[in-house]
Amino acid sequence: MDYEAALNENIVIIGHGQFGYTLFNGLINSGMTTFHLTHKAKIPENTTLVINCVPSKHQHKLLQTQRNTGYSGIVIDTSQTSIKPSLNTVSPTPLFLKDDFYAKAFGDLSSYDFAEINRQAKQTFIYAKSAKVFNRISSITKLLNIEPVFINPKTKNLEKVLNERYNRNFPNTLTASIFSAIVFIICYIYMFIRAVPPVGHHNFDDMIMHEMQNVCAWVAVTLFSTCFVLGSIGKLLPKPIGSRIFINLLNSRAQIGLYAAAFAFLHVIMMVVEFNESSYGKYYYPDSNDMQWWAQLIILFGALASLFIIPMVISSFAGQWSRKEWFILQPVCGFLVIIFAGSHVTIIGLPPNKAGWRDLFGGSGMPSPSFFAGMACYLAIGFRVLVFVVEKCCGLPEDKGLQGYMKVGSEDKEDEKRGVRNEGFA
Ligand code: HEM
């Protein structure tokens, strides 16, 4: 039925940007009757559906012109911005609000989604005044392997829903960026004080790469551990959780983990570049090219930690995983990263041939970053064990719903009053 409806449409695409071209090609390739015209061309008489692929500021004017020249079928506004800005610019009553055949779709997709349909399904949120119009648009989106989501025009906060969907800009990334930047700045300043004169004995030049590489390693471990510690605290706290900052951090764990992976990547790259026998002579048996067993373990554990970061990063970007797959790709791989990074820094801190952590305040009087990195790993593991024990012995606080998750409808005072419950903390 859907498919039949799609085949009966005579579609016109307006706009010669990349978006218009790829959408046109996508529809033609799926066997649709489609014409590609400029905004000045007259819409052919038998047209049933027009898709306007022009910049958002021209959308409503174009709609007006199309109506004035007698076209009365469906018009799809594909702009990336929500309809909200137009509410202010079109007066007295925005045309589209009165127009039964105005719809908004595709603005939350990119040209790539039309160019390559042999991929996992994408979604587009469709605003349409009636279910009939929605169904007709859906029958087309499905041909492009795009799942339609109906935004009921009677939805409370319609503008807000559209705005959050279409104007979305990496939700949760801001919190993760601020948090990661703060951790990096603190670690860098600590390293600066510890490494260079008057406290340390390294050259100032070393702050560019040699010490920076250590800072990156330290930040990576701290951020990875933070994700675990936050999740564990989230599980232990009574719900709903009161602190908005804490909720934001909880909801930013995926992005914090990606920052952690980026810092670990920097550490590995810089380490590989600077690793040589003369700088790391202590790793080798005296007067030999053979690396000592504990030094080999350092490298092995570092490499294993790096290995388990890879599935976490890839799975963060791609795929619709089952819950079991997600559990293995994130909490399980993440825990292995913590275990291997913890082992990596423990041997760095406690090598058989020097005091290391055994003389924590020796040398510069400031503990080495490997010590703090080790503590972060132990804390993360300790919290996990605590959650496990509490869960087994007396059960965790009830945990339903997704508190403040995504930004849609979550910033209202009203929501806070209702006390939305908490997300499942993995
Ligand atoms: C192939 C991968 C890796 C190699 C070869 C490697 C190697 C090393 C080496 C040689 C050191 C210096 C030890 C010293 O100063 O004696 C080091 C330090 C460190 N690495 Fe790695 N590493 C790798 C991956 C990782 C990963 C993935 C992490 C974190 C998730 C990490 C975290 C650390 C930390 C925290 C330090 C201590 C920094 C300091 O003491 O200032 N490493 N690594």
Determine the distance separating the centroid of ligand 1 and the alpha carbon of 215, expressed in angstroms.
10
Q: Which amino acid is residue 129, in one-letter code?
A: K
Q: Which two tokens stand for residue 248?
A: 């934001």
Report CA-CA distances (Å) from 84 to 60, 129, 152, 299, 301: 12, 16, 16, 55, 52
Protein residue with least CA distance to atom 1, ligand 1:
303
- Which of ligand 1's atoms lies nearest the C-alpha of 368? 40
Distance 341 CA to ligand 1 centre (A): 8
Q: Is 178 in the pocket of ligand 1 (CB under 6 A)?
A: no
Q: Which of 412, 425, 422 is nearest to 164 (CA)?
A: 412
Ligand 1 proximity of 214 Cβ (cutoff 6 Å): yes
Distance in Å, CA 173 to ligand 1 centroid: 26
Q: Does the beta carbon of 261 lie inside 6 Å of ligand 1?
A: no
Is ligand 1 within 6 A of the CB of residue 126?
no
Model pTM score: 0.76
Residue that has been written with the tokens 């232990």 in this structure: 236
- Taken in order 38, 39, 44, 48, the sign of the CA dihedral is positive
Looking at domain 173-418, which of 1.10.760, 1.20.120, 1.25.10, 3.30.70 is its CATH number? Answer: 1.20.120
Measured in Å, residue 305 CA sits from the centre of ligand 1 at 10
Determine whether the shortest distance from the Cβ of 302 to ligand 1 is under 6 A: yes
Residue 306 CB–ligand 1 contact under 6 Å: yes
Q: How far apart are CA 253 and CA 231, in angstroms?
A: 8
Fold of 2-166: Rossmann fold (3.40.50)
The confidence score (pLDDT) of residue 89 equals 47
The angle subtended at Cα 367 by Cα 364 and Cα 369, nearest 5°, is 115
Report d(CA 114, CA 398) in Å as an integer: 43
Domains of the chain by residue range:
2-166, 173-418
Residue 215 alpha carbon, nearest atom of ligand 1: 41
Q: How far is the CA of 41 from the centre of ligand 1 (A)?
A: 63
Rounded to whole angstroms, how far apart are CA atoms 41 and 46?
14
Distance CA 375, CA 225 (A): 9
Q: How far is the CA of 344 from the centre of ligand 1 (A)?
A: 7
3-class secondary structure for the chain? Answer: CHHHHHHCCEEEEECCCHHHHHHHHHHHHCCCEEEEECCCCCCCCCCCEEEECCCHHHHHHHHHHHHHCCCCCEEEECCCCCCHHHHHHCCCCCHHHHCCCEEECCCCCCHHHHHCCCCCCEEEEEEECCHHHHHHHHHHHHHCCEEEEEECCCCCCHHHHHHHHHCCCCCCHHHHHHHHHHHHHHHHHHHHHHHCCCCCCCCHHHHCCHHHHHHHHHHHHHHHHHHHHHHHHHHHCCCCCCCHHHHHHHHCHHHHHHHHHHHHHHHHHHHHHHCCCCCCHHHECCCCCCECHHHHHHHHHHHHHHHHHHHHHHHHHCCCCCHHHHHHHHHHHHHHHHHHHHHHHHHHHCCCCCCHHHHCCCCCCCCCHHHHHHHHHHHHHHHHHHHHHHHHHCCCCCCCCCCCCCCCCCCCHHHHHHCCCCCCCC
**pLDDT tens string for the chain (426 positions)?**
567 777 889 999 999 888 999 999 999 998 899 999 998 889 999 999 999 999 888 888 898 899 999 999 999 999 877 665 444 444 444 566 678 899 999 988 888 888 888 888 889 999 998 999 999 999 999 999 999 999 888 887 777 777 777 777 777 889 999 999 999 999 999 999 999 999 988 999 999 999 999 999 999 999 999 999 999 999 999 888 888 899 999 989 999 999 999 999 999 999 999 999 888 999 999 988 999 999 999 999 999 999 999 999 998 887 667 888 888 999 999 999 999 999 999 999 999 988 999 998 987 899 999 999 999 999 999 999 999 999 999 888 876 666 766 543 334 443 443 333 333 333
Q: How far is the CA of 199 from the centre of ligand 1 (A)?
A: 23
Count CB neighbours of 28 within 10 A.
15
CA–centroid distance, residue 268 to ligand 1 (Å): 7
Pocket lining: 218 vs ligand 1, CB cutoff 6 Å: yes
The whole-number pLDDT of residue 152 equals 84
Testing ligand 1's pocket by substitution, the residue of 188, 218, 268, 346 carrying the most ligand atoms inside 8 A of its CB is 268
- The reply to whether ligand 1 has any atom less than 6 angstroms from the CB of 340 is no
370 lines ligand 1 (CB under 6 A): yes
Nearest-CA residue for ligand 1 atom 16 is 348
- From the CA of 317, how far away is ligand 1's center (Å)? 26
Bridge partner residues of 269 (DSSP): none
96 CA to middle of ligand 1, Å? 58
